Amino acid sequence: MKYWTELMQLEDASIELESAVTTFRAVNCAIDQLSTEEMQIAYWNVEKQLIDLQERIAADFQNLFETIRDNDEPKKKGKK
């Protein structure tokens, strides 16, 4: 399948995002049982995970976009 690698990278990022959401929900459920310091650490970790994931998704999307664009350019040049 064309663009298989790029699509798999985006799927992996989607799975990681689901994991981050689950982690966030778990922290929220345990909020009554955590100290202030533990909550701050947990939220910092979730925030870092989400930032890293956002950067990865943006890079994966850009890679997919460029791959499709570069594969499409020879066709456009041939039509002229």
Residue type, 19: S
pLDDT digits (tens, 9 = 90+) for 20-72: 889 889 888 888 898 999 989 988 998 999 999 999 999 988 988 898 888 87
Task: Please tell me the number of Cα atoms within 13 Å of 55 on its side-chain side.
Answer: 5
pLDDT in the model for residue 68: 87
Indicate if the pLDDT at residue 80 is higher than 70: no
What's the rounded Cα separation, in Å, for the pair 16 and 20?
6
Indicate if the pLDDT at residue 75 is higher than 80: no
* Reported pTM: 0.69
pLDDT in the model for residue 58: 92
Tell me the residue length of the chain: 80
